[in-house]
Amino acid sequence: MQNFIVIDNATKKYGDHIGNFNININIKKGETFAIVGPNGAGKTTLIRQILGFIKSDEGTVAINNFNSWINREEIMKFTGYVAGEISLYDDFTGIKFLKLVSKMKKDSDWQFVEKLIKHFDLDASRKIKKMSKGMKQKIAIIAATMNKPAFLVLDEPTSGLDPIMQQKFKELINKLKKEFSTTIIICSHIFEEVINFSDRVGILKKGVLIDEYNVGKTGIKELNKKFKKIFEEEGVL
């Protein structure tokens, strides 16, 4: 199967051990790839390069054969993104915000939006400024997935969600993969938060991809041991 994402020697330097250094990752269509590491490991910097928000100092990133920096507008047409720090229109109700996003996304499906609102048990009639962190997270997830994207990027996606809603989120991820072959990158500093969603996992440490594992072949318990060992050595666990 052809690679949907090719990250070739991606480097973005902000200082010694700050940024990304010679990152190489290939992700096939329909795969879910988790990027894990402690705060400051360079996860968000890598995400910003993948989405074309910043330009790599060296190397390239290609999404579905599009250069992420040169063709970022084309890439965003088939991409959904949940940012680590969510910014919504506080004076809008949830439904008004989702309708605005729907108008901006060419392939959005309003019936699918209504199903997602019900799926996440969301009161979308409330003003966003009166919503809890978890409710805002639901709004962001729905906005990112309403067009059944070919590519989905999730930065700390379950932040603020209770265990029941985390399970609902997992069900949505599985639906997107099964029915629409969505290629997904999930980024987190919490190993347990993303490993159950993922086919493969890459571990970042001080801006370097130090290891990559196939979840099914390695096993979640073994991966958890590896993750803890790596970061216990750094004194961050």
Asked whether residue 26 is assigned to any structural domain, the reply reads yes
**Domain interval for residue 38:** 3-232
Asked whether residue 218 is assigned to any structural domain, the reply reads yes
**Please, which pLDDT band fits residue 222 given cuts at 50, 70 and 90?**
confident
182, containing H or E segment: none
CA 86 – CA 161 distance, rounded (Å): 14
Model confidence pLDDT, tens digit, residues 115-140: 999 999 999 999 999 999 999 999 99
DSSP string, 67-136: ETTTTHHHHHTTEEEE-SS----TTSBHHHHHHHHHHHSTT--HHHHHHHHHHTT--TTSBGGGS-HHHH
CATH code for the domain of 201: 3.40.50.300
Asked whether residue 55 is assigned to any structural domain, the reply reads yes
pTM to 2 decimals? 0.91
Asked whether residue 39 is assigned to any structural domain, the reply reads yes
Asked whether residue 237 is assigned to any structural domain, the reply reads no
Q: How many domains does the chain have?
A: 1
SS3 of 166, please? helix
Model confidence pLDDT, tens digit, residues 43-80: 999 999 999 999 999 999 999 999 999 999 999 999 99
- pLDDT value at 235 more than 80: no
pLDDT (0 to 100) of residue 217: 79
Range from 29-38, 138-147, 160-169 that averages highest in pLDDT: 138-147
Asked whether residue 22 is assigned to any structural domain, the reply reads yes
Asked whether residue 193 is assigned to any structural domain, the reply reads yes
